[in-house]
Amino acid sequence: MQNKIKRIGVMTSGGDAPGMNAAIRAVVRTALYHQIEVFGIMRGYQGMIDDDIFQMDSRSVANIIQRGGTILKSARCKEFMEPAGRKKAYDNLRKHEIDGLVIIGGDGSFRGACVFSSEFDIPCIGLAGTIDKDISGTDFTIGFDTAVNTAVDAIDKIRDTMDAHDRIFIIEVMGRDAGYIALHSGIATGAENILIPERKTDINNIIQSLQEKERRKKMVNLIVVAEGDDFGGANEVQKILEENLPKSEIRVCILGHIQRGGSPSCMDRVLASRMGYHAVECLIEGRHNVFVGIQNNKMNYVPLETAVKNKGKIGEEWMKIVKILAS
Q: Which residues are catalytic, by number?
A: 132
- Helix axis angle for 107-119 and 83-95, nearest 10°, is 80
In this structure, how many other beta carbons lie within 10 angstroms of the beta carbon of residue 258? Answer: 14
What is the C-alpha separation between 161 and 219, in angstroms, rounded? 13
In this structure, how many other beta carbons lie within 10 angstroms of the beta carbon of residue 217? Answer: 7
CA angle 297, 301, 303 (to 5 degrees): 150
Nearest to 201 by CA among 177, 176, 174, 228: 228
The letter for the amino acid at 7 is R
Q: Residues near 258 by Cβ (< 8 Å), separated by ≥ 6?
A: 150, 154
What is the C-alpha separation between 123 and 157, in angstroms, rounded? 46
Nearest to 228 by CA among 189, 173, 171, 191: 173
- Residues 139-163 as b/e (b if ≥16 CB within 10 A, e otherwise) read ebbbbbbbbbbbbbebbeebbeebe
Helix (H) or strand (E) holding 321: helix 316-325
Beta pairing partners, 292: 127, 301
What is the C-alpha separation between 169 and 243, in angstroms, rounded? 15
Strands 124-128 and 168-173: unpaired
